[in-house]
Amino acid sequence: SQDSCSSLIQFKNSFSITEDASLSCDHITGLKSYPKTNSWKEGTDCCSWDGVTCDHLNAHVISLDLSCSWLYGNFPSNTTLFLLPHLQKLNLAYNDFNLSKIPSEFGRFESLVYLNLSHTRFVGEVPSQVSHLSKLVSLDLSCWIYDYEQFTIDKHAVEGLVHNLTEVRHLFLDGINMSSVNTHLFMNLSSSLRSLSLADCDLQGKFPKNIFDLPNLNLLNLGGNQNLNLDRLKFNRSNNLEHLDLSSMSFSTEFIDSVNNLRALKYLDLSGNSFFQGMSVSITNLSSLEYLVISGANIFGGLPDSMGNLVSLKFLVLYYSNLLGPVPRSLGNLLQLTRLDLSQNQLSGQIPGSLGNLLQLTHLDLSQNQLSGQIPRSLGKLLQLTHLDLSQNQLRGQIPRSLGKLSQLTHLDCQLTHLDLSQNQLSGPIPRSLGNLLQLTHLDLSQNQLSGQISLSILNLTQLEFLDITENSLEGSIPDEVTAFPNLKYLYLSNNLLNGTLPSWLYTSPSLEYLNLKNNKLQGPLPSSIFQLLNLTFLSLSSNNLSGVIEFSMFSNLPNLKHLGLSYNSLSLTSSTTSTANLTSLFLSSCNLSEFPQFLKGLRSLESLDLSYNGIEGKIPQWMQEVGNDSLTYLNVSHNSLTEVEHFPWKNIAILDLTSNLIRGNLPVPASTIKVFLISNNSFNGEVSSLICNVTSLQILDLSHNNLSGTILQCFGNFSNTLQFLNLKKNKFYGTIPPIFAKGCRLTYFNINGNLLEGPLTPSILNCNGLEVLDLGNNKINDTFPHWLGSLPQLQVLVLKSNHMHGSLSVNSSNSSTFFSKIQIFDLSSNYFSGPLPVRYINSFKAIINLEKIGSTVSYMGVYALSGSGNFYTYSIGIVMKGQDRELVKIFTMWMIIDLSNNQFEGGIPKVIGKLNLLKGLNLSHNNLNGGIPTSIGNLTSLEWLDLSSNRFSETIPNRLADLPFLSSLNVSENQLHGQIPQGKQFNTFGNDSYEGNKGLCGFPVSKGCNIIEAAPPNVLEKDGSKSNIAFGWKVVLIGYGCGVVFGMSVGYVVFQTGKPKWLVNLVENQQEKRRRRKSK
């Protein structure tokens, strides 16, 4: 009728049309949303309108389906929809009614048999009038549990639904808060019920047993009700359930075993449960099962071979469930399988070639496991495959050419993380055959050891939207083809060896949003055509060889640009007041700046700013407080020539780095939001203000290398629950170390070296169970050796050198074998310790003995990622290495050093010293040690320097020392040694100063020759069966045959420092980028 049409038009006009209102329809349900009401025109027959159905006799509107129709706005309580009394079906699902309440007038629709108001952002209570719709056969009021306000239903409304809806067959109430509803109310549900879905309703108490016995029930969803009690409930063979969802619940193993009785079951979801102790074999007897989902469970067991019996399976998802062991070959029997997801587990062994039998497979995800071996060539038979993810495993070998046969593939991800960089990577060139995958939209080969040039065949992939080949060893120029990649949105080629100029196709890729080419060898100017990429939001060209002058105002042509990285090139920026106002991250480290650039003035939304390693002088200008005043969280102006900082105006600053400037005066206190405060290597003086006590979120505080004085503030103890790094090195703090370390202390690094502290040590340090580095050297601490420090379970570095410590290191404790078990650097030099060398401690140094399996790949202690910056903060200490004082700004985990020099130790060197297999440096000089040099030192095959000078050693130098392959520094001067100096190998590199003061030594290189007796043949080398366990996974810098690995690392580090200041960091936005890359996938 005309009235019905008019009512519908008025209903339509109550809402605006916006695609976002139905986003969940497209992205979650897979249904296609569109604005159905756009076809509704006044003056036309409404029975012909999209979504409207009328009866043929009276032209009454009897059905209205506006699901997924982009409707947005408040739902009127007096809507004209209620003027359609003949409605039998009403579907308004997947629209957005903006937190409206369901009008009670819905109870007027007495003829309704179908009502769907699901996922429409209704809130408040379900009106009891809905229960008056006694003819309802299907009712769906489900909502998303993450809606802004909870959708609730009280016990009276539930009671009405159960009592009045005697014809209901399908009842969906997911996400409605029923915490106040007694579950016994559901006991009287209609026996005709076929579907019951009460997921995420916060149901409490025992669930009625008779629900399981409803004769027609074939769908039951109780997932997400963690407090619902299913104890003593079991399924029996009379159940006809086909769909069962019990995800995120708690129940017994006996209950899950009863699932085996559900012979008709086709869909089973047991995700998020912790009842498993290994995969229940009974599940594998469900021969009708088509969908099995058990994600986020604690299975802690392997997949049984009987999984191969589920021959009807189409969908097998077992990700993130702590699965162990191999992938069963029997999975190759599941010939109906279309999706297989075993990702985020601990599966090991090789990928079985039998998976190549699964010819119906469209989605294969084995990522984030511990799979090894090569990618099976048989995967090339899976011609229906659209998604292949093998990332983050330990796969090696070349990418098989057979993958080029997967013509339907749209997503290929072979990004691998690895345990051993020398063996467990995909290597070789990118196969040309990948250019056959013409449907590919996503290609990720990052973090491997792929080499050679980027294959020209990649340019055939014109459908690509995502391409990531970062962190490989690719070289040559980027292929240049003007028409390449017209749909590309994300391009990541960083951390390779690519050279040449930027390809021309970059400037004709209108869809490009993310471009990351950092850490390559690209050269030439930045073409002006790059400013035509109007959709660009992320641009990083840092750490290349780009040159020329850039007018910064040109970036204002990129209206969507949020991230810009130009650090470490040979670029010069011209300053202007024009800027791109949307920038949130700007990285201009080492960009030849001499002042704070004027273009910063307009960047009020800036969150991260890096101006480090420039030549900026003077003080931070006043106008800088307007730059990101409310948004700036990361500021790095380190390694400049700043001289003055009055205050820090940024309200939400979290990371502030002023390291290595020329700043004088009192230390300003940053905002209370600060987490990382780095001001080392300046000229700050005076006492630290007590106002810093208000900064309670500190995680890293580095005040080292200044002229700060006073006592250590007691309030540093307030930071115990957050502070991880505390570096007060080389200041003028005095007094005693206060007992500031409370229980729960999270400190991992504590360095107060080079101050004026005195008195005994505070036992409160024992509250810091995670402490890894403790450096108290170069103070005036007067105490005996703190044996109790040995009980710190994570302690790796202990430096007590140059204090007034005294007494013996002998220990009688029965549990001393566990003391210092992880110690790697043990420096007690220049004190007054006496007595014999500590045999028990040497026996307990398990990390140096290699009982802790430290490994051989190069890594550093205490690497802390500075969120939002791409930079890192690491542990640092000062040590004596080969007779030279060195400041180590990072500590290799491979470094094992013992320095007990300049004390009053006496007696001989114990033979157990030869057990310290990984020891790299041993200094026992300037003590009162005597006896012979033990031949067991010849077992120390990692040793690089040995200093035994200025003791009272006698006898000969053991010939076995000549076989130490890395020994590059030896000092046995000022002893009472005699006999011939061992000849050959490393000993040929040592000069006379290594032996002076030993009048009895003869032979090269000293001037005294050996007579016949002294030159007797050397003793036969000891054969103890030991093998060198040295396996270095790093190509270090070796300066001459006798340099030694650690020295090579040190020299390599110095060269690295002076070439480009990129130590310890990948000085751009690695962490931000990785999050973006994961999100964009």
Tell me the percentage of the chain whose pLDDT exceeds 90: 57
pLDDT tens digits along 838-858 = 998 999 999 998 754 444 444
Letter for the amino acid at 638?
S
Which of 1018, 970, 1023, 1014 has the alpha carbon at shortest distance from 996?
970
DSSP 581: T
| Residue 668 burial (CB count, 10 A) | 16
More reliable by pLDDT, 878 or 377: 377
Question: Is there a contact between 295 and 322 (Cβ–Cβ < 8 Å)?
Answer: no
**pLDDT tens digits, one per residue of 150-182:** 789 988 899 999 999 999 999 999 999 999 899
DSSP-derived letter for residue 102 is P
From residue 142, how far is each of 353, 870, 1026 by CA, in Å?
Answer: 44, 43, 69
Calculate mean pLDDT across residues 90-104: 95
The amino acid at residue 807 is G
The span from the CA of 37 to the CA of 24, in Å, is 19
pLDDT average, residue stretch 708-715: 91
How far is Cα 600 from Cα 605, in angstroms, rounded to an integer?
A: 11
Q: Mean pLDDT across the chain, nearest whole number?
A: 85
Count of residues making up the chain: 1081
Per-domain boundaries in the chain: 2-122
pLDDT of residue 423: 30
For domain 2-122, give the fold.
3.80.10
- Do 274 and 297 contact (CB within 8 A), yes or no? yes
Work out the average pLDDT over 919-936: 96
Q: What is the pLDDT of residue 1013?
A: 56
Q: Looking at residue 203, what is its pLDDT?
A: 93
Angle at 657 between CA 662 and CA 655, to 5 degrees: 155
Residues 6+ apart with CB under 8 A from 624: 596, 600, 649
| Cα(1047)–Cα(1037) distance, integer angstroms | 8
Type of residue at 287: S
Q: Which amino acid is at 887?
A: E
Cβ within 8 Å of residue 668, ≥6 positions away: 645, 646, 647, 648
Nearest C-alpha neighbor of 1029 from the set 925, 946, 919, 931: 919
The pLDDT of residue 276: 58
Q: If you average pLDDT over residues 753-768, what whole number do you get?
A: 94
> Cα(875)–Cα(341) distance, rounded to whole angstroms?
40
Residue 1039 has pLDDT above 90, yes or no: no
701 CB contacts (<8 Å, ≥6 apart)?
677, 719, 723, 725, 726, 727
Q: What is the pLDDT of residues 181-199, one digit of tens each?
A: 999 989 889 889 999 999 9
In tens, the pLDDT along 568-580 reads 999 988 877 666 7
How far, CA to CA in Å, does 835 sit from each of 905, 913, 932?
A: 5, 17, 18
Cα(397)–Cα(374) distance, integer angstroms? 6
Backbone angles phi, psi at 997, to 5 degrees: 85, 5
In whole angstroms, give the CA distance from residue 232 to residue 220.
18
Half-sphere exposure of 716 (CA within 13 A, CB side): 26
Per-residue pLDDT reduced to its tens digit, 115-129: 999 999 999 999 999
> Half-sphere exposure of 919 toward its Cβ, with a 13 Å CA cutoff?
25
Residue 756 has pLDDT above 60, yes or no: yes
Q: What is the DSSP string of 30-42?
A: -PPP--GGGG--T
Mean local confidence (pLDDT), 395-407: 84
Q: What is the mean pLDDT of residues 466-474?
A: 91
E strand residue ranges, 18-141: 52-54, 61-65, 71-72, 89-91, 114-116, 124-125, 138-140
Give tens-digit pLDDT for 647-668: 788 889 999 999 999 999 999 9
Each residue of 236-279: pLDDT tens digit? 887 889 999 999 887 777 777 788 888 899 999 988 876 655 55
